[in-house]
A and B are shown apart, each in its own frame.
Chain A
Amino acid sequence: MACNSSTCNSSGCYKGYEEEEQPKPNTKAAVNGGNSCQNLCVKCKVNEPVCCGIGGENSRFCKDCFKNNLYGKFKQAVTYNAMITPPDKVLVAFSGGPSSRVVLQFVHEMQYKAQKNYDANKDKSLPVFGVGVAFIDESSTHSFTSLHIEKAIEDIRLIVSNLAPPSKELFVVPIESIFSSDGIDGKERLKELLDAVSDVTGKEDLLIRLRILLLQKIASENGYTRIVLGTCTSRIACHVISATVKGQGYSLSADIQYVDSRWEIPVVLPLRDCPAQELNTLCSLDGLKIVELLNGPCSGINGLVSSFVKVLQELILHRKGNSVSSCWTFKRRKSFSRVHNSKNSWEAHSISLQQGSGNP
């Protein structure tokens, strides 16, 4: 099923993100050879760049190096934090959006490579980790038409079925099943619960909490040992600020770790070092289909913080000539007792932008 076409962008194509692969020289660049390094990919210095990472001028990549760079960050996070080991069964939470689409793709790539190695290996000592996908149907809390949601679910089924072999089980679970398996009763109870919260931000946060509880339920009932979220750098940045303004500082440290072991089934964030902009660009360049179920802009604190983070990012990125490294660092306060799995001084390196001479 491997595709030999270099231009194939199908989501089922296994041309893969080869970390050591040398990209083929682009004819145009070769002709312009000695012209200037400014117009070449900063990594391979051969091809013309097509995308900018968030590092501005220091992160102009050609398509292949851009993909490899992102996959490299994912792989590093998984390896250094032992997120996925051979006996694991991982449940990927797939919302249909760009971040979870990328994490699903990357997890699949990793599983596919592990399967190839297993098949080629005589002693079969290391099993291949299992992958399942969970989509939470929140249509009862939004105003989507049933046609809209049915189409979305159909698209998701197609995406998951194309990511095989190895095949992946897909769970499409309505949010109200957090209460019971009886759909009608669950919907009423959910509505009652949400109506009890009067503010927009409160409702959003409650839904986020219900989502993770439901994912825990699905994982636990089906023998999964890890839950993979597509939470990216930008989302972490927003969470740091919004949690601070909401007075949720106590749990903040544990909220933003690579591995959150506070839950029965640990929750892992392999895209923690990848900014949203790069994930969106990858989806666009690589033809990764996303399924968007959007309910309009968020009007609460979370939406406001998201906009603020973007503005800040743009301001810093376009400030010319300065060497700016922007990290938000919060020192550990004595009043915080030990938080499960937190580091000594916890830092929210939500956005780390560099300009100028490329120092770390």
Chain B
Amino acid sequence: MHLTLEFGGGLELLCESVKIHNVNVDLPKGADKLSMRDLLAWVRTNLIKERPEMFMKGESVRPGVLVLVNDCDWELSGQLDTTLEEKDLVVFISTLHGG
């Protein structure tokens, strides 16, 4: 599944300072849908090159990281259970750095 992932607020430093990633994520075996839970695990394995604890805590994102799926807060679409579709845009923003 082709997705666009964006990292902001300092999270890009964990992905070799690349803010926008166009990725192709395989569905997990036996599943017909891709959930945010699956995507996060994929991101940790494939995109996060250092200090994974700054991005994730357990199977979810670290507190202070905002997640927007197609400009919509993931809290509204079920958080980890949000299902993703082809060409979706997922934005991760760390709010730990002030402004």
Residues of A within 8 A of B (CB): 49-52, 56, 60, 63, 95-102, 230-232, 234-235, 276-277, 279-281, 284-285, 290, 292, 294, 296-297, 303, 306-307, 310-311, 313-314
B68 within 8 A of A: yes
Known A-B contacts A49-B76, A281-B66, A294-B13; the reply to A230 vs B71 at CB < 8 A is no
**Nearest B-chain residue to A39, judged by Cβ:** B76
Find out whether the CB atom of B99 lies under 8 angstroms from the CB atom of A306: no
Residues of the B chain whose Cβ atoms lie less than 8 Å from the Cβ of A101: 99
Q: How far is the CA of A310 from the CA of B57 in the complex (A)?
A: 12
Q: How far is the CB of A62 from chain B (nearest CB, A)?
A: 10
Chain A contact residues, majority secondary structure: helix
Q: Which of B54, B73, B76, B98 has the most CB of A within 10 A?
A: B98
Known A-B contacts A284-B71, A294-B10; the reply to A307 vs B63 at CB < 8 A is yes
Q: How far is the CA of A45 from the CA of B10 in the complex (A)?
A: 35
Q: How far is the CA of A277 from the CA of B54 in the complex (A)?
A: 17
Question: Which listed residue (A100, A102, A284) contacts B93, Cβ 8 A?
Answer: A284
**Nearest B-chain residue to A235, judged by Cβ:** B98
Known A-B contacts A49-B76, A95-B99; the reply to A306 vs B71 at CB < 8 A is no
Residues of the A chain whose Cβ atoms lie less than 8 Å from the Cβ of B8: 284, 290, 292
Question: Which listed residue (A52, A280, A290, A306) contacts B76, Cβ 8 A?
Answer: A52
- Of residues 21 through 76 on chain B, the ones whose CB sits less than 8 Å from some CB of chain A are 51, 54, 62-64, 66, 68, 71-73, 75-76
B3-17: contact bitstring with A at CB < 8 Å (1 yes, 0 no)? 000001110010000
Count residues of B near A (Cβ-Cβ below 8 Å).
Answer: 23
Question: Which listed residue (A97, A102, A313) contacts B97, Cβ 8 A?
Answer: A97
Q: How many A-B residue pairs have CB under 8 A?
A: 86
Q: Which of B8, B13, B93, B95 has the most CB of A within 10 A?
A: B95
Q: How far is the CA of A148 from the CA of B31 in the complex (A)?
A: 43
**Nearest A-chain residue to B61, judged by Cβ:** A314
Question: Which listed residue (A51, A95, A277, A313) contacts B72, Cβ 8 A?
Answer: A51
Residues of the A chain whose Cβ atoms lie less than 8 Å from the Cβ of B66: 277, 280-281, 284
Residues of B within 8 A of A (CB): 8-10, 13, 51, 54, 62-64, 66, 68, 71-73, 75-76, 91, 93, 95-99
Q: A-B pairs with the 9 shortest C-beta distances? A: A97-B99, A99-B99, A310-B64, A310-B63, A98-B99, A314-B63, A52-B75, A50-B72, A276-B95
Q: How far is the CB of B31 from chain A (nearest CB, A)?
A: 25
Known A-B contacts A50-B72, A294-B13, A297-B10; the reply to A313 vs B98 at CB < 8 A is no
Residues of the A chain whose Cβ atoms lie less than 8 Å from the Cβ of B51: 297
Interface pairs (20), CB distance under 8 Å: A50-B72, A63-B71, A96-B99, A97-B98, A98-B95, A99-B98, A232-B99, A234-B95, A234-B98, A276-B95, A276-B98, A280-B9, A280-B66, A281-B73, A284-B68, A285-B68, A294-B97, A297-B10, A297-B51, A310-B95
Find out whether the CB atom of A297 lies under 8 angstroms from the CB atom of B54: yes
Q: How far is the CB of A71 from chain B (nearest CB, A)?
A: 17
Find out whether the CB atom of A230 lies under 8 angstroms from the CB atom of B99: yes
Find out whether the CB atom of B99 lies under 8 angstroms from the CB atom of A290: yes
Find out whether the CB atom of A100 lies under 8 angstroms from the CB atom of B99: yes
Q: Which of A56, A98, A235 has the most CB of B within 10 A?
A: A98
Residues of the A chain whose Cβ atoms lie less than 8 Å from the Cβ of B91: 284
Residues of the A chain whose Cβ atoms lie less than 8 Å from the Cβ of B97: 97, 292, 294
Q: How far is the CA of A280 from the CA of B93 in the complex (A)?
A: 8
